[in-house]
Each structure stands twice: as structure tokens, then as C-alpha cells.
Amino acid sequence: MAVSERGLAGLTLPTPARAEALRELHDRWPNGEDAGAGAYDDFVDQIRRYLAGEPVEFDMPLDWSGHTAFLQEVWRITCSIPYGKTRTYAELAEAAGRPRAYRAVGQAMATNPIPLVVPCHRVLRSDGGMGGYAGGLDMKERLLEMERAASLRG
């Protein structure tokens, strides 16, 4: 994860190797520094619980500085999609007050710097298709299936 003084600025999706995740973070945030072990244990625990299939409400402040007001609004709306539910790109565009901007919403999802926490995997095409996902469509499908199963368990 990449953290600023304002909050979480970036997060990589699960990768096969820690070195790969660190390389990705360094490529995206070259001036970032290691916060040190233990600095964000509570947030790391939330991510682990989420990936284990537990419904989690992430509570770390998010830093979207440097991104346009439109992107920030779309990501804020995306954060309001309930666990285990989905919305369409068109629904997010409508909620952002720009009903014809569904392609721009798709770009916002594609450039989401904080996946999982900003749950862009919960956004689908209007025809019910998956659309895209930075972690690949298999991962998107697995995340949605995991959330649906946990929602059914109660």
C-alpha cells in the first residue's frame, strides 16, 4: 500500500510475490517510503479479513489528491455500493450527475488507485457483463462470488 499524510493513496491487488507488488507500488509512487512494520496493522487486518470472505467496512482515510473532482466523485459513489451488490457504469454516471459519462466512469474504474477499498469490482456493464478489471476478470468474478456468498450467510 502507498500512504500519504492524508491517508491511503494506493493499493495493489494481490500478486503471487511480494516483490511484484512492491515493484508496482514503486512504479506508481516512486517517492513513497516504507511505513514500517506495524504502522498499519489494523488496516492490513481489515484487508486480510476481507480477502477471507468477511464483510468489512474499511475505515482508513483515503487520499485522492491530485485526481480530478470527477474521479473523486465517482470513487466516492463507488465506495457507497454495498458489500455483495453491484451497480452499472451508467448508474454511477447518473449518480455523479453526468448520465452520459458512463465511458468516463469506466475510465475512473480502470484508474482506481485503491482497488478493494474503492470497490470497482462491483461495477458492471449495463448488459450485466463484467466489463474490465485491473486484476483480470477471473479475480473480479471471484471477488463478486465471495461477496455474494458472504452476504447469503448473513
Classify 142 as helix, strand or coil. helix
- Which residues carry out catalysis? 120
**Residue the block writes with cell 483515503:** 62
Classify 30 as helix, strand or coil. coil
Strand 123-124, strand 87-88: pairing: parallel
* 140, three cell numbers: 473480479
Backbone angles phi, psi at 143, to 5 degrees: -65, -45
